[in-house]
């Protein structure tokens, strides 16, 4: 982690906002202030020069318990996802109301972390990263920064989707970070993907030669947002599915747990920016049946890894306590793949099958508060009590 800066929210923002502003168009600072929460934006510079934004909702003094929570979003998402359901329903606010010190990360390449110390976001070099780089550089920088600011030795980690993939990658390659995390809550964990049903990730299966198609038509290393602007044509060229709803290509068309009025808000904040190589990497593990590092091809693999094949992530090194939340209705985190992940992790503390949840219900379902968030808080409180007694 390099030099960092803190930008505190303007106390006058609240008076500048239209009280009936549509949440679809508000950024995270505006949303939090609109609903009566203080928010801070912190800047962290990674070892390889990416400038990341961390958003913090400090614990309220009236209910302060000093427990630090780090929330990490999924692919195409941002810190917005943790508060879009609004007060009493969104996990970020629920934690804050309980007195937790809430930190929400943003991976390189999303709308809040699209700067670099030397590279412009329009350059192809800026976008030469997969989710492994998020795990190896972004997460350690943010975790170290949070612990430094809060003067804590450990924090609790809640990850959704890619937010679980990146932590698994980080801990496999930098196992010393196990000691900095009390516990991981994995919402819709993604590691093995052999049984994933999502057409988008099947699209990036190497068998479709999508990488070659992109290389011949656009700047291959640009943001995935650029692709999504023209993706209906792209999807219809490669997959025999409907071409009218990007979100449904990822999660399916089952929204029974999401309030209809929230859907426009979600669409207003997603996609938030990702590298194409993140999707290529997911496509590789879908096709290979392995949870392994990026496949650059035999010659480059040999130079980088010392073998013509990319190595598997060694999950035996992930020894912190982990709680898994999964569903039989998830198009990305399939039950069979989660079962394989479960078998590879040495310290699964508990697991919950949330019946009929789709991949984003963990963030946006109106019943997530009762089915998931209450359990997370209960487990943390019990874990803290045990530690206090030791």
Distance CA 372, CA 363 (A): 10
Sign of CA dihedral 299, 340, 104, 364: positive
Phi-psi region of 345 (alpha: psi -120 to 50; beta: other; left: phi over 0): beta
Active-site residue set: 161, 330, 359
Distance CA 337, CA 323 (A): 16
Host H or E run for residue 251: helix 246-251
Collapsing DSSP to helix, strand or coil, 99 comes out as coil
Other Cβ atoms within 10 Å of 304 Cβ, number = 13
Distance CA 162, CA 248 (A): 18
Question: The tokens of 224 are what?
Answer: 């995935």
Q: Which residues pair with 322 in a beta bridge?
A: 184, 348
Distance CA 383, CA 387 (A): 6
List, in order, residues 6 or more apart from 354 with CB less than 8 Å away.
Answer: 325, 326, 327, 361, 362, 371, 372
Nearest to 266, CA basis, from 36, 69, 76, 92 = 76
Distance CA 341, CA 356 (A): 20
Q: Is 194 exposed, middle or buried (0-12, 13-18, 19+ CB in 10 A)?
A: middle
Torsion of CA 293, 297, 303, 308, to 10 degrees: 80
Collapsing DSSP to helix, strand or coil, 37 comes out as coil
For residue 5, the Cα-to-chain-centroid distance in whole angstroms is 23
Distance CA 102, CA 278 (A): 26
């Amino acid at each position: 982690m390099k030099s960092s800066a803190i930008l505190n929210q303007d106390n006058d923002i609240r008076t500048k906002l239209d009280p009936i502003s549509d949440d679809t168009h508000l950024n995270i600072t505006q949303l939090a202030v609109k609903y009566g929460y203080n928010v801070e934006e912190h800047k962290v510079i990674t070892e390889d020069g990416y400038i990341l934004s961390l958003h913090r909702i400090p614990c309220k003094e009236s209910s302060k318990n000093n427990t630090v929570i780090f929330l990490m979003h999924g692919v195409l998402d941002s810190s917005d996802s943790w508060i879009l359901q609004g007060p009493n329903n969104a996990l970020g606010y629920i934690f804050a109301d309980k007195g937790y010190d809430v930190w929400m990360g943003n991976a390189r390449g999303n709308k809040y972390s699209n700067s670099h110390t030397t590279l412009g976001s329009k350059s192809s070099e800026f976008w030469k990263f997969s989710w492994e780089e998020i795990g190896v550089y972004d997460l350690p920088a943010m975790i170290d920064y949070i612990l430094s600011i809060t003067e804590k030795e450990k924090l609790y980690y809640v990850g959704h989707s890619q937010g679980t993939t990146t932590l698994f990658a980080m801990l496999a390659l930098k196992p010393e970070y196990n000691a900095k995390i009390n516990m991981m809550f994995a919402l819709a964990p993604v590691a093995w993907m052999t049984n994933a049903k999502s057409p988008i990730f099947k699209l990036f299966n190497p068998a479709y030669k999508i990488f070659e198609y992109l290389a011949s038509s656009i700047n291959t290393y640009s943001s995935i947002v650029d692709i999504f602007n023209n993706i209906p044509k792209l999807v219809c060229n490669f997959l025999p599915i409907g071409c009218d709803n990007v979100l449904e290509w990822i999660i399916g068309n089952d929204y029974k747990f999401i309030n209809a009025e929230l859907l426009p808000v979600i669409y207003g904040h997603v996609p938030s920016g990702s590298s194409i190589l993140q999707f290529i990497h997911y496509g590789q593990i879908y096709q290979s049946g392995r949870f392994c590092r990026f496949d650059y091809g035999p010659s480059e693999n040999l130079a980088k890894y010392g073998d013509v094949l990319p190595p598997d992530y060694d999950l035996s090194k992930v020894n912190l306590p982990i709680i898994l939340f999964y569903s039989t209705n998830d198009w990305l985190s399939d039950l069979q793949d989660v079962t394989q992940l479960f078998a590879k992790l040495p310290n699964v503390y508990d697991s919950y099958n949330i019946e009929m949840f789709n991949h984003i219900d963990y963030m946006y379902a109106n019943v997530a508060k009762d089915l998931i968030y209450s359990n997370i808080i209960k487990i943390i409180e019990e874990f803290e009590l045990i530690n206090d007694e030791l």
